[in-house]
Amino acid sequence: MQYQLIENQNQLNSFVEKIKNKPILAIDTEFMRRRTLYPEVALIQVFDGEHLALIDPLAELSLFDFWQILKDPNVLKVLHSPSEDIEVFQKYAGFVPAPLFDTQFALQLLGEGNCMGFALMVNKLLDVEIDKSESRTNWLQRPLTEKQLDYAAADTYYLLPCFEQIIEKINHAGFFDIVINESCLVANKRAFSLPDSEIYKDIKNAWQLKPHELVVLKELAAWRKNKAIRKNLALNFVLKEHNLVEIAKRAPSSLNSLRQIPGVESMEINRSGIEILKCIDRAKAIDPENFPAQLKRLIDFVNYKKVAKEVRQKITKVAKEHDIPEDVMASKKQINQLLSWNWKLTPAQRENHIKPDLLSSWRYKYVKDVLSEWDT
């Protein structure tokens, strides 16, 4: 396996010239996500079947010409389980490579493996054992070791021959457009951000709180998200999620009382205590008639289990008719997403929410007739 580590502009320009007319590129990224909200990109691997390069984004490089290739609609970009890679490109490059072919999803669509890891795919399709010992290594260190570079190169070196086997089956089944569309869906969902006013609803155990407690949680959740973005800190490094709920229950009025809440750490109070108290003060100034309504879980709705089962049965019938695995057509989470959209959101709130998977993407074409009553 031969590869090139690109650390200067001349090397990158030469590599771009070699790959710019190639119809298929295998791509991967290495990144770190320690305390940050956004992934820190550390390496970009690219293989066209002949030239394999590891691009160092920490070097002083202009990636403009390389980005144009990743944007080219005539170049198919192949990745394996690219959800986090998509986020890397969204944050680092400002776009998502397209069209994008996810080999993990393609295997799932073919019924050959549910969320199959890269090493298992390579072993199953190529009968090759690859070393995954560097998966938790520090990719931001410089210089990278030879073992790290070999590991990173293998991710695209073996990805391309796996793709060549998979694409033959995908084309035979007529599923190519589905695979491409699924990656678009993942990218859209990664890019979507709930409005500040709605974030509190996704906090675990928020359903346990009363309206006068929810109004505090609403302020805290929006503040935490915005501080995380501003500081590029993982949400739980701003304030742990379970502490949001405990603080909302008690609504402390001083730093001393905040310190008495079980689970709240001194570091959290030292960094953000004053801001937390300001959130509580803002919540206390809100008129009770404007408090959020108590949240309902899906299980709290009458006939939830019965309705979910009926929806599942309709989708299963469609999936079998088109030889698509049932769990690919709709997971339990996706069915719950559909029910929540209809039962929990007002028409005005739906304007600010991403549509359920079953009412968008490739799935809608298959299920729109049997789920017409849910298409609101």
Q: 48, 134, 155, 213: which is the annotated catalytic residue?
A: 155
Q: Please indicate whether residue 304 is annotated as part of the active site.
A: no
Are 357 and 329 in contact by the 8 Å Cβ rule? The answer is no
Which among 357, 360, 355, 374 is positioned nearest to 308, based on CA atoms?
Answer: 374
Q: 48, 56, 85, 134: which is the annotated catalytic residue?
A: 85
Structure tokens at 165: 């086997």
Are 206 and 245 in contact by the 8 Å Cβ rule? The answer is yes
Q: Please indicate whether residue 196 is annotated as part of the active site.
A: no
The SS3 of residue 301 is coil
CA distances from 284 to 101, 220, 252, 277, 290 (A): 50, 12, 11, 10, 11
Which among 239, 192, 193, 194 is positioned nearest to 220, based on CA atoms?
Answer: 239
Are 280 and 253 in contact by the 8 Å Cβ rule? The answer is yes
The SS3 of residue 241 is helix
Element containing residue 102 per DSSP (H, E):
strand 100-102
Q: Please indicate whether residue 48 is annotated as part of the active site.
A: no
Q: Please indicate whether residue 28 is annotated as part of the active site.
A: yes
Residue with tokens 């929410």: 353
Are 101 and 167 in contact by the 8 Å Cβ rule? The answer is yes
Q: 28, 87, 182, 213: which is the annotated catalytic residue?
A: 28
Q: CA–CA separation, 33 vs 135, rounded Å?
A: 12
Q: At what angle do helices 159-173 and 176-191 cross, to 10 degrees?
A: 120
As beta bridge partners, residue 43 has 30
Q: 3, 48, 134, 151: which is the annotated catalytic residue?
A: 151
Q: 30, 56, 268, 357: which is the annotated catalytic residue?
A: 30
Catalytically annotated residues: 28, 30, 85, 151, 155
